[in-house]
């Protein structure tokens, strides 16, 4: 199918580019590690304080790492003419946008999701099974990437150079953050995976999945005019 073919092609290209270009994928995870270390310094080495800070730290680090990476996700394709070519030659840009999102999730989201249990060990979380926080963090990475995607598309259309994405993404990210931190806390503290918070987080993610690709395509096409 044409859509799946384009999604795969774009995602694959972005992954190869980030591996070849000396570190798109590194940028996210390094930022994440630095942020986590700073939070540990901020909260002090006391185990109680660290345990309470575990879920917020994971979430804020994920939010900022994704926003950092996604804020310029379309700029390069606009500057080198790739996006213009695709917009003219393809019937739809939907596959392209989904491919870009998949690329961000693989390049930035993937390492962050893997790092979340490691952070929770470092933050003195005593849960026996650390994989229990993965579903909420993975869902959150998806939702936050979606929020950053539409903000980045609007920003690119305005030729804003990436500075502006955070302001546009903030209102969309706040509900994700609120439910996400609670969902992860509950997973850590009482091994609840499918908590009410997780259900709301899922609902928010589905909502963003429904509106983000369409509006992003619209904004990108506008930017090309």
Partner 1 sequence: MKSICSDKVSLQCDEVACARGGVMVVGGVSFAVGGGEAMLIFGANGAGKSSLLGAIAGRIPLMEGTLNWAVNDDVLPQRQFASNIAMLSHDGAIKTGLSVEQNLLFWCRIYNKPRTDLASIVERVKISGLEHRRAGTLSAGQMRRLSFARILLADRPVWLLDEPTASIDDGGRADISALIGGHISDGGLAIVATHEALDVPHRSLRIG
Partner 2 sequence: MLSYFSNPARFEAFARWASPLALLVLFGCLAFGIPMGLYFSPEDYQQGHTVRIMYVHVPAAIMAELVFGFIALMSLTAFVWRHTLADACARAAAGPGAIFAALTLITGSVWGRPTWGTWWVWDARLTSMLILFLTYIGYIAVWQMGTDENKSARLARIVGLVGFINVPIVKFSVDWWNTLHQPASLLRADGPTIHSSMLWPLGLMALAYIALFSWFVLSGVRTSIYEKQIARRAQPLASRPIKPEQMAAGDQNG
Binding residues for partner 2, rule: CB under 8 A, are 150, 154, 157-160, 164, 167-168, 170-172, 174-175, 178-179, 182, 200, 204, 207, 211, 215, 218-219, 222-223, 225
Q: C-alpha angle with apex 131: 19 to 198, nearest 5 degrees? A: 100
Nearer to partner 2 by C-beta: 137 or 177?
Answer: 177
User: Which two three-digit tokens encode residue 104?
Assistant: 């961000």
Q: Is 214 in the site for partner 1 (CB under 8 A)?
A: no
For the CB of residue 172, give the shortest distance to partner 1 in the complex, in Å: 28
Q: Is 79 in the site for partner 1 (CB under 8 A)?
A: yes
For the CB of residue 16, give the shortest distance to partner 2 in the complex, in Å: 31
Give the C-alpha distances (Å, rounded to integers) separating 25 from 94, 128, 165, 182.
24, 30, 20, 28
CA atoms within 13 A on the CB side of 55: 21
Distance between CA atoms of 100 and 178, rounded to whole angstroms?
26
Is 206:185 a contact under the CB 8 Å cutoff?
no
**Of 46, 48, 100, 49, which is closest to residue 72 (Cα–Cα)?**
100
Q: Is 25 in the site for partner 1 (CB under 8 A)?
A: no
Nearer to partner 1 by C-beta: 180 or 223?
Answer: 223
Q: Is 87 in the site for partner 1 (CB under 8 A)?
A: yes
Stretch that binds partner 1, among 74-82, 105-113, 131-139, 163-171 (CB under 8 A): 74-82
Of 3, 12, 111, 130, which one interacts with partner 1 (CB under 8 A)?
Answer: 12
User: Which two three-digit tokens encode residue 74?
Assistant: 């379309």
Of 41, 45, 88, 129, which one interacts with partner 1 (CB under 8 A)?
Answer: 88
Count of CB atoms situated within 10 Å of the CB of 78: 18
Residue 171: name its binding partner from partner 1, partner 2, none (Cβ under 5 to 8 Å by kind).
Answer: partner 2
Q: Is 9 in the site for partner 1 (CB under 8 A)?
A: yes
For the CB of residue 93, give the shortest distance to partner 1 in the complex, in Å: 10
Number of H helices, E strands in the chain: 10, 0
**Of 94, 95, 103, 105, which is closest to residue 7 (Cα–Cα)?**
95
Residue 128's φ and ψ, nearest 5 degrees, are: -75, -35
Which residues sit at the interface with partner 1, rule CB under 8 A?
2, 5-6, 8-9, 12-13, 16-17, 20-21, 79-82, 84-92, 224-225
């Amino acid at each position: 199918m044409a859509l799946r073919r384009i999604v795969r092609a774009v995602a694959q290209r972005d992954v190869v580019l980030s591996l070849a270009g000396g570190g798109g994928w590194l940028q996210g995870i390094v930022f994440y590690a630095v942020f986590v270390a700073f939070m540990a310094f901020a909260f002090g080495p006391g185990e109680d304080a660290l345990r309470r800070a575990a879920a917020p730290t994971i979430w804020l680090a994920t939010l900022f790492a994704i926003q950092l990476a996604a804020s310029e996700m379309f700029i390069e394709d606009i500057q080198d003419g790739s996006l213009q070519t695709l917009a003219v030659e393809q019937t739809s840009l939907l596959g392209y946008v989904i491919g870009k999102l998949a690329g961000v999730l693989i390049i930035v989201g993937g390492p962050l999701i893997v790092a979340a249990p490691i952070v929770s060990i470092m933050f003195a979380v005593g849960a026996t099974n650390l994989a229990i926080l993965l579903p909420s963090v993975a869902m959150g990475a998806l939702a936050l990437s979606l929020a950053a995607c539409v903000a980045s598309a609007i920003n690119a259309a305005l030729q804003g150079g990436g500075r502006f994405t955070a302001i546009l993404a903030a209102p969309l990210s706040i509900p994700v953050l609120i439910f996400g931190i609670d969902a992860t806390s509950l997973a850590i503290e009482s091994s609840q995976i499918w908590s009410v918070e997780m259900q709301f987080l899922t609902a928010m993610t589905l909502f963003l999945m429904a509106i983000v690709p369409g509006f992003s395509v619209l904004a990108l096409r506008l930017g090309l005019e």
